Structure 1
Amino acid sequence: MSDTDGKKPLGLGGAPRSGQVKQSFSHGRTKSVVVETKRKRVVVPTPAKPGAPGAGAASSGSGFGDPSKRPAGITDAEMERRLAALRAAKAREAEDAARRAEEERQREEDRARRREEIEAKEREDRERAEALRLKAEEEERAAKAEAAAKIAAAEARRAEVLGTRSRSTMPAPKPAERPAKADAAAPAAPAATEEARGPAGAKPGLSPRKTDREKDDRSDRSAKRGADDGRRSGKLTLSDALSGESGRQRSLAAMKRKQEKARAKALGLGHKAEKQSRDVQLPETIVVSELANRMAERAADVVKALMKMGMMVTMNQAIDADTAELVIEEFGHKAVRVSDADVEQVIDTVEDKSEDLQPRPPIVTIMGHVDHGKTSLLDALRKTSVATGEAGGITQHIGAYQVKTPNGQLVTFLDTPGHAAFTSMRSRGAQVTDIVILVVAADDAVMPQTVEAINHAKAAKVPMIVAINKIDKHEANPTKVRTDLLQHEVVVEAMSGDVQDVEVSAKTGLGLDDLLEAIALQAEVLELQANPNRAASGAVIEAKLDVGRGPVATVLVQNGTLRKGDIFVVGEQWGKVRALINDKGETITEAGPSVPVEVLGLSGTPSAGDTLNVVETEAQAREIADYRIKTAKDKRAAAGAATTLEQLMAKAKADQSVAELPILIKADVQGSAEAIVQAMEKIGNEEVRVRVLHSGVGAITDTDVGLAEASKAPIIGFNVRANASARQSANQKGVEIRYYSIIYDLVDDIKAAASGLLKAEVREHFIGYAKILEVFKVSGVGKVAGCLVTEGVARRSAGVRLLRDNVVIHEGTLKTLKRFKDEVKEVISGQECGMAFENYEDVRQGDVIEIFEREEVQRTLD
């Protein structure tokens, strides 16, 4: 047998060239192998038949169908595959074109459908408008016809009354012959004219004599008395009334109603009156029963309607105006919103005439970031020392001062705090001012309170002057300040803008004259005027409770003149001006426009930002104050009643997991108390919050201590102290009183106290792994796992998890950890030990024990 064993030689196809090759193997063995070598084959494809598929495609395009243009080495199969791919590509292209055409057709149909819908909607709107117009015309015609019918009925009644004067001499018409309209009542007039001619023989056109008229009247009255025996004749005397001969008489209104009913019944008009649509006057808040009375509806029906709206209220609870308006519309009535009250109309709101206006000093507010030198700049202008007397060198409340410039012009300055908590005070300063001076330190940059001051000035729409302070410092860079202001749309004149900028130094006095000149220029442009000869009105800048003087309000008079003895109302308080004290501590008798004064004689401490108005009488002032107190109380009650049951349940569920820190706040002035309350409301998160139980102005009293003891809350005193009785009571009851003079320290301490209520964060630290090699059953102990610590360390006090196929089966603690027979505290990696779980015995060979430790980290509020 040959070496090939009858098999075909290996080859690569084509025209092979055969040959033999001798192969050598180990141990001297050899073998002859027939090998073939293949030359490179050049394929010449056959031309495709005209009817064959793909002939057209092959003959076109790239020329693949032409054998002379076909690339070398391309087989028929490869050529067929390429032609099939080309046909598939063309087919896909045709499908894409068809799909695009279909999509375009659908879009065109959508556009046409939308166009038809719009046209149909416009056609419906036109038809609806035409129907409304026709309905209005029909109603107008009906109203005119009804008015004409009423006029005709009135004329008929008038003719009937005139024609019944001498009813005894005229035959009474039958009911069927009685006219129903004014046109049929015309024949009654001649009869009345005939009666008016008097007795026989009188000349026509002449009035009857007086005696004849009196006789006719007496005869008519006697005839009427004879017709109605129940009517009283003559005067009612005391003896007649006591004897009861006259009897109880029907009133004239009852007789008139009886006649109207009889006439309506005769005319066929007797039907049930339709429900009337009423105009219901609606104040800001209204009690449900009062709303029902104003609508002339049953209170139970109104309560039922409110319950359908999801509000569980009684007829004695108050609701807000929006809810009441919905109820009024549901019952078919019309709500008429009224202003605050008629009692407030006594406040003079008459517009001043141009000839009564006189120039007034400008009101300038100094605003900016804390510690940028606002008070020091004002101190330099006043030539006094205010900043040195302030706690911590920062302004705690608004100060109002009046300064006389070198040219003799008066300027009123307001100094606002720069701390973040005094946002509301800065807003009030911007609302009452004419010009805002934005103080920016040259050695600092534009800070958050600077941006806030810019926003307040823009919201109040008042002009602004930028004062770049601390220009005397070596590191001062006023150009950087001007550039930073560009980011907040404040373009100063140095940058080709319209906002004046002045470089000043409160320490050396540099640029103060330029600043005053800029203020005078801006005031001249504004042309500030007011009428001093009218009842005064002003804004409360600050309010406090003085131990010796009682409630004191710092008021900036805006219009009119405030005089000693004037009766005024401010917010929910009223009073009579007992004394006026200016910014220098001097007692004055009157204060004109743009003059800041301290007003004594209030009934209570008003809120900062309230408006003061002078009224004529004390009764008016008390009535307005009582109404405002009632309105505020009703508004708070309505806000509580408007909460639905679902909202109450959700709030109660959310409050279960929230820890509260209750506190009481007493401050020296109203503005500081308001700022502290706002700062306290911002402290906290979804787990803890600060709750202000009470905030007020004045010294800490026994009442505050009693409230703090009942609620177990500390008392925060800001620039105030507790009196001797309150201190003794606080020591006996264990109430904590903390005193502060700087708002920074107050906010930080409260934040730290609230942080103590946060739950500690538990962190886990992995310390080791152990593998169970064998499980033993020990009497008295249970199942004990023989383990090998593979990583880290195993501790007796650590927590453990049992892992089976990387799934946690059990988590707990170790009951025992033994090394041989001894109980040990820990076992390091690479050593064997015995472990038993506390209250768990389902351990198996091959399980893995994860050992970890827990650490509690105390959290703090940001």
Structure 2
Amino acid sequence: MTETKSPGDKTLSVSKTLTLKRPSESGVVRQSFSHGRSKAVVVEKVKRRTGPGEAGGQSGSAPAPAKPASVTTPLSTKPRVGGPPASPSAGTRPSGVVLRTLTDDERDARTQALQEARVREADERRAAVEEARRRIEREAKERVEREAAEARKREEEARRALEDEARRKAEQEARKRFGEEEAARRAAGAPAQASSASQSPSSRPPYRSGGPGSGPRPAGAGPRPAGAGGPRSSGPGGGAPRPGGAGAPAMARPGGAAAPGRPGAPGGEEEEARRARRPSGGGPAKPVIPPKAPKATPGEEKRRGRLTVVTAYQEGEQRERSVAAFRRRVQRMTGQRQSETKEKISREVTIPETITIQDLANRMSERAVDVIRMLMRQGQMMKINDVIDADTAQLIAEELGHTVKRVAEADVEEGLFDTPDDPEALQPRPPVVTIMGHVDHGKTSLLDAIRHTHVVAGEAGGITQHIGAYQVTAPSGGRVTFIDTPGHAAFTAMRARGAKVTDVVVLVVAADDGVMPQTIEAINHAKAAKVPLIVAINKIDKPDAKPERVRTELLQHSIVVESMGGDTLEVEVSAKQKLNLDKLLEAVALQAEVLDLKSNPARPAEGTVIEGKLDRGRGPVATVLVQRGTLKVGDIVVAGAEWGRVRALVADTGVQVDTAGPSLPVEVLGFNGTPEAGDRLAVVENEARAREVADYRSRQRRDKAAAKITGRGSLAEMMKELKAGAGRKEFTLLVKADVQGSLEAIVGSLDKLGTDEVMARVVHSGVGGISESDVTLAAASGAAIIGFNVRAHKEAREAAERSGIEIRYYNIIYDLVDDVKQAMSGLLPPTVREIMLGNALVLEVFNITKVGKIAGCRVTDGTVERGAHVRLIRDNVVIHEGKLSQLKRFKDDAKEVLAGQECGMSFENYQDMRAGDVIECYRVETVKRSL
């Protein structure tokens, strides 16, 4: 073919072929292999471009797409001469079609397509390079892992080969011992095997390999001698190795045949080839029947691996790597990082007085077994819950490298009380005045006159038996807080509490009575509390009032009033006539001004419990005198062994208030139990702190009570107490009172009534009404129930009637103490006294039938009475004591015989009387004792 260059020829010749690369998509597919291995493979998918004619017959101005790179059509191909023009889809055949000139738009579109193709090709090339790099790294990592797995496999195969070699040697030894019996048995079975082999030549191997240095052995030969080397066939197949025998394969293949090329393997590829080449009987070669798979030995089954969930579900499938193997691999790879020793952390360990081993180990972040091991080294065998002392715990903590901070159990109370105040925040506060004195000297009447109330009218017996707190307004406008204390001798502790919480003590002395025992006690309490004293001489309106006598008697107790040149203020007052009450308040204000009393109201409150009681409707109620700070509703407070949240504050007038400032007495509601009188009250930050303090105080109280009951001390002291109380009788009581102060006074008075022969034992005491549980306790302990200003509940009364328990009610402490004293006196044994009547001398002894011996006597002194007690004295020795049964004067019975007269006497149950004995006659009287 020649190329036409005439101007009329429209054939376009291009020296360079223009092609476009077919677009493709690439992805990554994870390919799985045996033994749990996998490999990521990059897969590319080539998209097929569609021409304009294929896209639904649409035609436009867009240029035709380029052909794939695999099929290129050069534009310089000439058309065939004399033939029809070639079609555009004729492949590489020359085309005679004259192409039109491309327009500018088509040329731009084609150029843009080429540029986009180049950019896409560059991106794909970069992605392929990156993927190839990652694939190389992945393959290198997999190659390392595969080599490691192959190395482990080779080690396992070598180990199994050694085991098989040892097993083979052991079997050879066994054959040498029992070879004769085996040879005989095989000789007997050889003809049968030969005949069966001749009948089915294809079922047996033509030759058997012998030992080293021996040629091929015919199958029909005789029996093989014992101990001969080399493998031999067993069973009708002949080609399968005998499991466990000599020459058994080192490792069984999955199909059951031995691995070829391994030393000692029976048959192999060469043996199979020989079997295939040697035909039987000159005929064509028969196919060799593969040997049957031998039964796996127990050892081989064990080597297959453990029975797991994977092997159970995928039995017969390819084995995969187990989770445990993967963990071992990760552990081997990260073993060096895990073996790095961690730096020991030293901690500050807080150690109380006693601590358990478990708690100590937790605070040190150590194992408890290490602590126990250290104690065992010191010779102490302990368990994890045993308690050790602080010294032992400190030694263990320091030996383990920790620092120790010793704390005491009492440290929970640190910071509750007596925290210093800022001097700039202090403000003046009302004074607290305690009125003290002897009973019936007019203390409550004086306070009623100041407060314009009638408290004394409500007191049982006209005496004060409760401590009260009130706040009044003085004529000068200032406020004064008064604390009224009882004057009875039993309320000593109550007076002591009043003196401790007070700023000024007003000593009330009756002008017509003078200084009495409780007056002296009040003076001593004021001196012990180191508070100033103001003497109020009361009842000056009485005709027999002698104020000068009071001033003179006070001098005996180092109290010198101002009128006698001393520094103690005194005021003559009359509570009944309300005389000089303003002077008394002025004296109190003057003393308070001298003391300069100040407090900080803007701090948590602190105070003292004046009285505590249990109200059936309101629950535990405590009368508190706030001394520092301000007490608010909602505060969490602790008082003694009780704690609670303040629910309400009630003033002395009965009005509820939201806050209580310094020197203000209020009733506090919200405690979980009744606090004891005298307990200090403090506001804490949270309930956890309140519980901690209350628990500590309750434990302390229980320990003290247990020590008091059990009488802890030396052995000599315990024996002494047992000896002293061996013959002592107890009067058991159960006491319930309305308030803590009265209960304390009653229990103290009952304790003072005891003697060496009888004592009062209070099995239970508390505040509030008598409940059914109290009756049950009294019935169990055989106690009598005493209620002071309280009554029994309905259920308790019914239970007491059923049990026969006596309940006695009192509202005056005098009556209560007197009745208990009288009841205790009944337990005392009466006093026995002898009253001498007279003496008689035995003159003669007469023996009378059916009567017995009668002593004829003469009364020498006094009188002798019938039925009196007598003593028979012989040679100044008492030989008999008894009663006089008969007394006769002549033949008649006589009631008594006077001195100088003769009579006849007979004794009860005694006949040994002689002349010259002396009879002493006396009378016995019993006298009732009292405490």
Range of TM-score over shorter length: 0.5 to 0.7
Q: For residues 442 and 715 of structure 2, what CA distance do their matches in structure 1 show?
A: 53
**Alpha carbons of 1:552 and 1:795: their partners in 2 closer, same or farther (altered >3 Å)?**
same
Residue pair 1:240, 1:246 contacting (<8 A) in 2 also: no
Shift of 1:859: 0.7
**Alpha carbons of 1:555 and 1:252: their partners in 2 closer, same or farther (altered >3 Å)?**
farther
**Alpha carbons of 1:415 and 1:338: their partners in 2 closer, same or farther (altered >3 Å)?**
farther
Instruction: Tell me which residue corresponds to 1:627.
Output: 696
**Alpha carbons of 1:439 and 1:729: their partners in 2 closer, same or farther (altered >3 Å)?**
same
2:725 is matched with which residue: 655, 659, 668?
655
Q: For residues 579 and 614 of structure 1, what CA distance do their matches in structure 2 show?
A: 15
RMSD: 3.8
Quick check: which has more Rg, 1 or 2?
2
SS of the counterpart of 1:517? helix
CA deviations 1:135-182 (Å, max 9, x no partner) are xxxxxxxxxxxxxxxxxxxxxxxxxxxxxxxxxxxxxxxxxxxxxxxx
CA deviations 1:540-568 (Å, max 9, x no partner) are 00000111111000000000000111111
**Alpha carbons of 1:525 and 1:683: their partners in 2 closer, same or farther (altered >3 Å)?**
same
Shift of 1:708: 1.3
Instruction: Tell me which residue corresponds to 2:500.
Output: 431
Q: For residues 337 and 836 of structure 2, what CA distance do their matches in structure 1 show?
A: 102
Q: Are 1:847 and 2:917 an aligned pair?
A: yes
**Alpha carbons of 1:288 and 1:700: their partners in 2 closer, same or farther (altered >3 Å)?**
farther
Q: For residues 708 and 242 of structure 1, what CA distance do their matches in structure 2 show?
A: 77
Give the number of aligned pairs: 587
SS of the counterpart of 1:341? helix
Instruction: Tell me which residue corresponds to 2:560.
Output: 491
CA deviations 1:663-708 (Å, max 9, x no partner) are 1111111111111010111112111111111111111110111111
Shift of 1:785: 2.0
SS of the counterpart of 1:443? coil
Matches within 5 A, 1:10-409: 239-240=326-327, 245=332, 282=353, 340-345=409-414, 347=416, 349-409=418-478
Shift of 1:722: 0.9
Residue pair 1:369, 1:419 contacting (<8 A) in 2 also: yes
Deviating more after overlay: 637-646 vs 767-776: 637-646
2:813 is matched with which residue: 743, 750, 757?
743
Shift of 1:610: 0.4
Q: Give the structure-1-normalised TM-score.
A: 0.63
Instruction: Tell me which residue corresponds to 1:726.
Output: 796
2:652 is matched with which residue: 570, 583, 597?
583
Instruction: Tell me which residue corresponds to 1:502.
Output: 571
Residue pair 2:841, 2:919 contacting (<8 A) in 1 also: yes
Q: For residues 775 and 741 of structure 2, what CA distance do their matches in structure 1 show?
A: 23
Residue pair 1:470, 1:505 contacting (<8 A) in 2 also: yes
1:533 is matched with which residue: 596, 602, 615?
602
**Alpha carbons of 1:615 and 1:806: their partners in 2 closer, same or farther (altered >3 Å)?**
same
Instruction: Tell me which residue corresponds to 1:605.
Output: 674
Shift of 1:364: 0.3
Shift of 1:298: 8.3
Deviating more after overlay: 457-466 vs 632-641: 632-641
Q: Are 1:784 and 2:836 an aligned pair?
A: no
Q: For residues 449 and 406 of structure 2, what CA distance do their matches in structure 1 show?
A: 52
Residue pair 1:318, 1:637 contacting (<8 A) in 2 also: no
Residue pair 1:317, 1:638 contacting (<8 A) in 2 also: no
Residue pair 2:712, 2:718 contacting (<8 A) in 1 also: no
**Alpha carbons of 1:757 and 1:773: their partners in 2 closer, same or farther (altered >3 Å)?**
same
Q: Which has the higher helix share?
A: 1
Shift of 1:240: 3.9
Instruction: Tell me which residue corresponds to 1:198.
Output: none
Shift of 1:802: 2.2
Structure 1 vs Structure 2: percent identity of aligned residues? Answer: 60
Residue pair 1:318, 1:641 contacting (<8 A) in 2 also: no
Q: Which amino acid aligns with 1:388?
A: A
Residue pair 2:470, 2:482 contacting (<8 A) in 1 also: yes
Q: For residues 365 and 645 of structure 1, what CA distance do their matches in structure 2 show?
A: 46
CA deviations 1:2-27 (Å, max 9, x no partner) are xxxxxxxxxxxxxxxxxxxxxxxxxx
Deviating more after overlay: 643-652 vs 467-476: 643-652
Q: Which amino acid aligns with 1:856?
A: T
Shift of 1:838: 3.0
Q: For residues 839 and 633 of structure 1, what CA distance do their matches in structure 2 show?
A: 61
Q: For residues 346 and 242 of structure 1, what CA distance do their matches in structure 2 show?
A: 60
5+ long unaligned stretches in structure 1:
1-236, 258-277, 304-314, 330-334
Q: Are 1:856 and 2:926 an aligned pair?
A: yes
Q: Give the structure-2-normalised TM-score.
A: 0.58
Shift of 1:649: 4.2
**Alpha carbons of 1:255 and 1:336: their partners in 2 closer, same or farther (altered >3 Å)?**
closer
**Alpha carbons of 1:480 and 1:703: their partners in 2 closer, same or farther (altered >3 Å)?**
same
Residue pair 2:350, 2:406 contacting (<8 A) in 1 also: no
Shift of 1:801: 1.5
Deviating more after overlay: 811-820 vs 567-576: 811-820
SS of the counterpart of 1:396? coil
Q: Are 1:705 and 2:788 an aligned pair?
A: no
Q: Are 1:717 and 2:804 an aligned pair?
A: no
1:466 is matched with which residue: 512, 535, 560?
535
CA deviations 1:337-370 (Å, max 9, x no partner) are 9655333335364211211111111100000000
Q: For residues 848 and 356 of structure 2, what CA distance do their matches in structure 1 show?
A: 79
**Alpha carbons of 1:648 and 1:254: their partners in 2 closer, same or farther (altered >3 Å)?**
farther
1:820 is matched with which residue: 890, 914, 917?
890
Residue pair 2:871, 2:882 contacting (<8 A) in 1 also: yes
**Alpha carbons of 1:751 and 1:287: their partners in 2 closer, same or farther (altered >3 Å)?**
farther
Shift of 1:622: 1.9
Q: Which amino acid aligns with 1:795?
A: E
Shift of 1:637: 3.8
**Alpha carbons of 1:846 and 1:614: their partners in 2 closer, same or farther (altered >3 Å)?**
same
Shift of 1:659: 1.1
5+ long unaligned stretches in structure 2:
1-323, 361-370, 396-403
1:831 is matched with which residue: 894, 901, 908?
901
Q: Are 1:571 and 2:640 an aligned pair?
A: yes
Q: For residues 253 and 375 of structure 1, what CA distance do their matches in structure 2 show?
A: 84
**Alpha carbons of 1:300 and 1:458: their partners in 2 closer, same or farther (altered >3 Å)?**
farther
Q: For residues 595 and 804 of structure 1, what CA distance do their matches in structure 2 show?
A: 85
Residue pair 2:711, 2:718 contacting (<8 A) in 1 also: no
SS of the counterpart of 1:498? coil
Instruction: Tell me which residue corresponds to 1:413.
Output: 482
Q: Which amino acid aligns with 2:419?
A: V
Residue pair 1:815, 1:837 contacting (<8 A) in 2 also: yes
Shift of 1:724: 1.4
**Alpha carbons of 1:723 and 1:510: their partners in 2 closer, same or farther (altered >3 Å)?**
same
Q: Which amino acid aligns with 2:493?
A: S
SS of the counterpart of 1:488? coil
Q: For residues 752 and 508 of structure 2, what CA distance do their matches in structure 1 show?
A: 27
SS of the counterpart of 2:855? strand
Instruction: Tell me which residue corresponds to 1:763.
Output: 833
CA deviations 1:303-361 (Å, max 9, x no partner) are 9xxxxxxxxxxx99999x9xx99xx99xxxxx999655333335364211211111111
Q: For residues 385 and 843 of structure 2, what CA distance do their matches in structure 1 show?
A: 78
Q: Which amino acid aligns with 2:592?
A: A
1:687 is matched with which residue: 757, 769, 789?
757
